[in-house]
């Protein structure tokens, strides 16, 4: 049986449900609209999303700030 570590270890990957919660969307929306654009780690039935992938997706999909009251696309 593995021992539980006494210190908190920073997470570098999340489950799909955790990733959805981390970016503020539901699991169904995440699976349909976000996960297809991410590189995933797959081992057997386990899927993990690297936090760096979530950060990349957010940066890529963020809109530009308004310039003189207008959105730039």
Residue 25 included in any domain: yes
For 15-28, what is each residue's pLDDT tens digit? 999 999 999 999 99
DSSP lists the bridge partners of residue 41 as 48
| CA-derived radius of gyration, the chain | 16
How much is the pTM?
Answer: 0.77
Residue 18 included in any domain: yes
CA distance linking residue 45 with residue 23, whole number of Å: 23
Count up the domains in the chain and report the number.
Answer: 1
Residue 1 included in any domain: no
pLDDT of residue 72: 60
pLDDT of residue 35: 96
Residue range of the domain that includes 22: 13-61
Residue 4 included in any domain: no
Residue 66 included in any domain: no
For 7-53, what is each residue's pLDDT tens digit? 788 999 999 999 999 999 999 999 999 999 999 999 999 999 999 99
Residue 5 included in any domain: no
Residue 19 included in any domain: yes
Residue 55 included in any domain: yes
SS3 for 12?
coil
Cite the DSSP H helix spans in 1-73.
Answer: 16-23, 27-29, 51-61
């Amino acid at each position: 049986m593995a021992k539980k570590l006494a210190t908190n270890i920073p997470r570098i990957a999340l489950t799909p449900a955790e990733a959805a919660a981390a970016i503020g969307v539901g699991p169904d929306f995440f699976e349909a609209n976000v996960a297809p654009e991410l590189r995933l780690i797959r081992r057997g039935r386990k899927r993990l999303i690297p936090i760096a992938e979530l950060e990349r997706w957010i940066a890529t999909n963020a809109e530009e700030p308004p310039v003189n009251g207008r959105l730039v696309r």
